[in-house]
Structure 1
């Protein structure tokens, strides 16, 4: 039971963190875009890939523990 609770809390923290960054993403991309449009695109791609990568890595760790 505590395993499910810990997983839910971890997922909630991850989602809240990514939600805050997603809320700020337009400002971040525009700020980086002043220097380089390619870098701004890279920031956006890294954000999207990072979202899925975090959950993929977490699933691998959880699977290894079982």
Structure 2
């Protein structure tokens, strides 16, 4: 059995790290898209789409990891 307090602390730390990284990336994203857009509008659009998909991918991976631990 795992300690309930340890699980809660681990989840809070993971959420904090994800929030900080996502905030930094989303803060810088418009500047990067504009810079990439000077080379190609498709490149800027592709980068924006990939960043947003990566955001949801991280949560999907975390959910899979948590489900696997419950079995």
**Structure 1 length normalisation: TM-score?**
0.93
Cα RMSD of the aligned pairs, angstroms, is 0.8
- Which runs of structure 2 are paired with 1:1-66 in the superposition (5 Å)? 1-66=5-70
Equivalenced residues, count:
66
User: SS of the residue aligned with 2:39?
Assistant: coil
Moved segments of 4+, more than 3 Å: none
Unmatched tracts of structure 2, length 5 or more: none
**Greater relative contact order structure (CA < 8 Å, 6+ sep):** 1
Q: Give 1:27 shift.
A: 0.6
Larger Rg: 2
**Structure 2 length normalisation: TM-score?**
0.87
